[in-house]
Amino acid sequence: MNQPVLILIKPDGLKKSLTGNILTRLSETKLEIVAAKMVRVSQDLAHNHYIHLKDKPFFGELIKYLRGELHDRRKVMALIYYGEDAINKCRQLAGATNPEEAESTSIRGSYGRITTAGVYENVIHVSSNPDEAEREIKLWFGPDEIIVDLFPTKNIEKTKKIAAWA
Ligand code: IDP
Ligand code: MG
């Protein structure tokens, strides 16, 4: 079954210049990239993204990590890959959450580490199941930013000043 998956190259991945490397690894999946952008992560976005972990002792540090406060890189790269069994394929390549337990040839096994503050810096985020993928994609992307129709949309009236090229 074709499905979408949200991928984030986290601030440590960007700081370590791993973007090309990670995208090359992911291209082994033969999945299609249907959206991509650089994002400055707000407190709200980070909090909502990791809401399932909000009671964990490492939550505060995890939010700082995703926002780039630990790496002086206030950005992440967000992508949506789409295709057959996309979630499984990407999670296989990413490896286990704990980089020390991840297979050594996986992305996290190759490039991840555990900080002295105890956060797993594991270079990449991959949605863990179809429901999470849908929830996360709707947090990170609007319908207009994705080149295929993934989920139902509605039209809303919005009057807001936006920046345009001068
Ligand atoms: P996942 O990223 O493999 O789906 P989640 O359980 O969703 O794993 O955790 C989200 C992120 O929180 C992980 O990628 C990692 O950066 C961090 N994390 C998860 N569990 C721990 C932990 O036990 N200690 C420190 N950091 C953790
Ligand atoms: Mg997860």
Q: Which sequence positions are flagged as catalytic?
A: 125
Write the residue with the smallest CA distance to atom 3 of ligand 1.
97
Residues in the chain where the model's pLDDT stays below 50: none
pLDDT of residue 116: 86
- Using CA atoms, how far residue 48 sits from 24, 100, 136, 139, in Å, is 29, 26, 9, 8
Q: What is the pLDDT of residues 13-49, one digit of tens each?
A: 999 999 999 999 999 999 999 999 999 999 999 999 9
> Residue 5: beta bridge partners?
81
Q: How many domains does the chain have?
A: 1
Q: pTM here?
A: 0.97
- Ligand 1: which of 71, 87, 97 to mutate, most ligand atoms within 8 Å of CB? 97
pLDDT of residue 40: 98
Q: Cα–Cα distance between 61 and 113 in angstroms, integer?
A: 15
pLDDT of residue 158: 87
pLDDT of residue 15: 97
The CATH number of whichever domain residue 87 belongs to comes to 3.30.70.141
pLDDT of residue 157: 93
pLDDT of residue 73: 87
Least Cα distance to 12 among 90, 68, 52 occurs for 68
> Residue 36: beta bridge partners?
79
Pocket of ligand 1 (CB under 6 A): 53, 58, 62, 97, 118-120, 122, 125, 128
Structural domain for 158, as ranges: 2-165
pLDDT of residue 3: 98
